[in-house]
Amino acid sequence: MTKTKLHGGVIISYEQHSHAVMELLTYRLRNRVALTHYPHPNSIELHRNHHFIIVLSIDDLVDVVKFYQTLEHTPPLLVHIDTPDVVQQIDYAAEFPEVDIVALEQARLTDKDVTLKISLFREIIEHLETRV
């Protein structure tokens, strides 16, 4: 039985190297995930029926939620990857009620000698595959 390949969107609006970082973070899942990169939330193509959208900043998270609300669509699972200090300050349930958000702590990608959590998405992808 062939599993459905999950489709995700990635908002990459502020860091030139983020595209490469996302490829590294999803390397082990390439046969299970297809990613479309967007320069801004307003570029999201709704017809693609994303299973998840990855954002790398709180500003992009807010903009993605506004984008879906403006169009009266329910957003897919939103994956917010940010530094621990940012993630720990946000009460996602209070700030974004009725929006399914998973927050993942990751070191600032521009720091010297940053260590990426290569298995970062495995649990999320496995959880989403059970829904499809």
Q: Which residues pair with 36 in a beta bridge?
A: 9
Q: Average pLDDT over the chain, rounded to whole? A: 82
- Look at residue 20 in the predicted model and tell me its pLDDT: 64
Instruction: Write down how long the chain is.
Output: 132
pLDDT at 1 over 60: no
The residues, any chain, with a CB within 8 Å of residue 119's CB and separated by 6 or more, are 28
Cβ proximity of 45 and 36 under 8 Å: yes
CA 132 to CA 123: how far, in whole Å? 15
Q: Kindly indicate the confidence band of residue 109, based on its pLDDT and cuts at 50, 70 and 90.
A: low
Mean pLDDT of 49-55: 92
CA 99 to CA 111: how far, in whole Å? 30
**Domains contained in the chain, CATH given:** 6-120 (3.40.50.2300)
Tokens read off for 112: 């010297």
pLDDT digits (tens, 9 = 90+) for 12-28: 865 556 666 666 666 66
pTM summary value: 0.82
pLDDT digits (tens, 9 = 90+) for 69-88: 999 999 999 999 888 899 99
Tell me phi and psi for residue 4, to 5 degrees: -70, 135
Q: Cite the DSSP H helix spans in 14-83.
A: 18-25, 58-70
Cβ proximity of 32 and 6 under 8 Å: yes
- Look at residue 12 in the predicted model and tell me its pLDDT: 84
